[in-house]
Structure 1
Amino acid sequence: MENVEPTNSPDSSVEKNKFLKTNLPLFIAAAILIGGSLMVGYTVGHRQGLTVVGYDADAEQLVDVVQKQKTALDSVNRSLNAAIQERDMAVSNADELFKAINQANAEKTQFQGMNAIYRDILKQRGGVSLTIQNLAIKSLPENAFEYQIDLVQVSPNKRRASGSVELRLIRNTEILDVPLEDKSFNFEDFERLTGRWTMPKGFTPQYIEVRLTGSGTPVIKRFSWQRGQPVELNSAFVSEIPQAEANAQ
């Protein structure tokens, strides 16, 4: 049997070409549609992926900001609580100080009233001549001392007491004059003189003497020297205290 090769008729080729030409736009449109779908899917997926990554980064940054704000808020709260406590303490101290001042003023008024009564009684009885009511000596560090001299006078005719005061340290025949910050006095009823001096090294007095000179008879009073425990004092002030000098007599 002989092989017979198939042959295409001219009519079938024409039909095939006609079909391709007719459906070519459809094929192209389908290819474009498929390609576009793939591109859209890739783009959307890529953007969604970037959006998720960006959201995570923003969330971490937001958490960090919130944590910093919380830390700052805690610090502000602590400072506020400390300020409130200090304010309450200051108010409490101010109240106590105000009460103490009022109490001191009340006691001062009462004391002044009693003194006025006593002065009137003393005036009716002839008064009290100028006298040294009290002498106090306070021992300080570095061989320094502080004196306090209280002078009193009650005059029926309200005459003022005026004059000068001397303070002397006596040991056997040795006499040292204590330099006074203010030697003069001028008062009606009472005056307190205070000051400090430095004792020469190696000198321990037996007596301390106060002399008052004025228009009337001089007043001289001698006290026995007794040294107690020194009180605390800043050395910067001690260096400024004058030193007692030997009397020229």
Structure 2
Amino acid sequence: MDLPEDNNSSQSLPEAQRNYITQPNKVSGWLIAFGVSLLLVAIIALVLGQRIGYHRGLSFAAEEAKKTAAGLEISAENIKSLKLKSDTLQSQLTTAQQERDISLANLSALRTDIQDLKVTNLQLEQGQQFLTTSLAKKGGMSLQVIGAKIAPLPENAYEYRFDVGMVDPSNQPKNLIPKLTLLDEVNMVEVPLQPNSYSIHGIARIRGRFLMPKNFVPKQVKLELTAGNQKTEQVYDWQLGQPIDNMPYTLEETPEADKRPVSSTDSTPVASTANTQKPAATTAAK
């Protein structure tokens, strides 16, 4: 009979369906196992990465700490050096400020002194003008030598200083021409004077230097003066004077002639050799 066979056929269909249903379950198991493996690998990689990163970070932190410590040490040395420099500069600044204050005070005092000198000079000029005008009204003052001095210098040089006074009745300056001559027993040596003329209206100061001729020893000094229509002549004996203790060693130490007035104690010419230990020579007016 065919019916039993049909029953067997109908029973085989469910078995085919059961096999079809179980196949996807195996695939899902493999997927789950693969996912779990990936997760484990990721966890292991994460742990290893964390440990490696931690060690690297720790090493980097240690290096940075060393660098920071070295930098702090260098910075401390720099701060100490900068502080020392700052103290030095502050000391120099204080000294400079003190020197500036002293200089300003000296400058102020100097300006005051200069102003006082200007006032004094104006007063003296006014007094001199008054006296010369008064003398001129009274007939003037004749040409005369007020002071005379010849001083020895190094290198066989001599310095002459003559103070001459004159007031012309016209109350006008006159041209003064001096002439200086050295005399021995038989010879005369005229000393070249520079400048060779002066303007005189009151007092004229004749200053200059000359070299003594070699092997010439003067016995007398003659000074001749001419101003306007007046003439005068003075002759001085060349004599030994007092020793000179403060003689300069060279002419460079005294580059200019002494412009001070000849005092009453030095109113006779003085001359000598450059040796400071030898006595000076003086002259007496005749």
TM-score, with structure 2 as normaliser = 0.65
The within-5 A match list for 1:196-235 is 196-225=209-238, 227=241, 229=244, 231-232=247-248, 234-235=250-251
Q: What is aligned with 2:124?
A: 111
Question: 1:176 aligned to 164, 189, 192, which one?
Answer: 189
Measure how far apart 1:165 and its partner are. 1.1
Over the aligned positions, Cα root-mean-square deviation in angstroms equals 3.2
Structure 1 residue 98 corresponds to structure 2 residue 116: no
Q: Does structure 1 conserve the Cα–Cα contact (< 8 Å) formed by 2:148 and 2:161?
A: yes
Seen in structure 2, the aligned counterparts of structure 1 residues 125 and 137 have a Cα distance that, compared at 3 Å, is same
Seen in structure 2, the aligned counterparts of structure 1 residues 183 and 32 have a Cα distance that, compared at 3 Å, is closer
Q: What is aligned with 2:199?
A: 186
Larger radius of gyration: 2
Seen in structure 2, the aligned counterparts of structure 1 residues 89 and 206 have a Cα distance that, compared at 3 Å, is farther
Structure 1 runs not aligned, ≥5 long? 1-17, 242-249
Seen in structure 2, the aligned counterparts of structure 1 residues 227 and 179 have a Cα distance that, compared at 3 Å, is farther
Measure how far apart 1:30 and its partner are. 4.3
The DSSP-based 3-state class of the residue aligned with 1:182 is: coil
Q: Does structure 2 conserve the Cα–Cα contact (< 8 Å) formed by 1:139 and 1:227?
A: no
Q: Does structure 1 conserve the Cα–Cα contact (< 8 Å) formed by 2:180 and 2:222?
A: yes
Q: Within 1, Cα distance between the matches of 2:158 and 2:63? A: 88
The DSSP-based 3-state class of the residue aligned with 1:104 is: helix
Q: Which moved more, 1:192-201 or 1:221-230?
A: 221-230
Q: What is aligned with 2:180?
A: 167
Residue identity in the other structure for 2:164: L
Q: Does structure 2 conserve the Cα–Cα contact (< 8 Å) formed by 1:142 and 1:238?
A: no
Give % identity.
23
Seen in structure 2, the aligned counterparts of structure 1 residues 190 and 24 have a Cα distance that, compared at 3 Å, is same
Q: Within 1, Cα distance between the matches of 2:70 and 2:99? A: 44
Structure 1 residue 40 corresponds to structure 2 residue 53: yes
Structure 2 runs not aligned, ≥5 long? 1-29, 258-286
Measure how far apart 1:182 and its partner are. 1.6
Measure how far apart 1:180 and its partner are. 0.7
The DSSP-based 3-state class of the residue aligned with 1:173 is: coil
Q: What is aligned with 1:88?
A: 101
